[in-house]
Amino acid sequence: MSGLDNIGTKVVNPLPSPPEDGLSGNADAILHEIVALLEAYTATGQTGAIDLHSLPLTLDDYELLRITLADGEVHAHIDAIGNSEVRETLYPGVWWVTYYNAEGDIVADLIEVTAVPEILKAPADDVREGLAHLRELLKQEQP
């Protein structure tokens, strides 16, 4: 045992106290923006996205978004340079897409309004390369 335990320490929280309810008003703004994006998507098919990193959100703002949007029917997990979580919300066509790096930190956090987020679709070039590999494999196995 070192003598370090005898030194008195004081744990402080340097973060400024948040507003009364902890909400900045930005979560509400995002929810209204989602409505606008959904209106555009249903009317013209124009897809849209909101980068959640582009707005200052408090923890309570996030919580409000989580509770309001809630989980829908689809939850996909992508394993490509770290994890990615793709969740459809309770509102069909509204997706919450979160990208993590290999260390598990969030590198991008998006709300997407579309039928299927681009990241879930198999890219045509990858499909072609996969086909070539599979053909090659079958050719090798033939006697």
Contact set with another protein (CB under 8 A): 10, 12-16, 19, 24-26, 29, 49-51, 53-56, 78, 80-82, 84, 99, 101-103, 105, 107-110, 112, 118-119, 123, 125-126, 129
Residue of 54, 32, 60 lying closest to 110 (CA atoms): 54
Output 68 or 114, the one with its CB closest to another protein.
Answer: 114
Taking every pair of Cα atoms in the chain, the longest distance, rounded to a whole number of angstroms, is 76
Query: Residue 82 carries which DSSP code?
Result: S
To another protein, the closest distance from the beta carbon of 61 in angstroms equals 9
Output 24 or 68, the one with its CB closest to another protein.
Answer: 24
Output 118 or 142, the one with its CB closest to another protein.
Answer: 118
Spatial separation of the C-alpha atoms in residues 108 and 99, rounded to whole Å: 5
Number of H helices, E strands in the chain: 3, 5
To another protein, the closest distance from the beta carbon of 142 in angstroms equals 26
Output 79 or 143, the one with its CB closest to another protein.
Answer: 79
To another protein, the closest distance from the beta carbon of 55 in angstroms equals 5
Query: Residue 20 carries which DSSP code?
Result: T
To another protein, the closest distance from the beta carbon of 133 in angstroms equals 11
To another protein, the closest distance from the beta carbon of 80 in angstroms equals 4
- Residue 52's contacts (CB-CB under 8 Å, 6 or more residues apart) are 30, 109, 110, 111
Give yes or no for a contact between 95 and 112, defined as CB atoms under 8 angstroms apart. Answer: yes
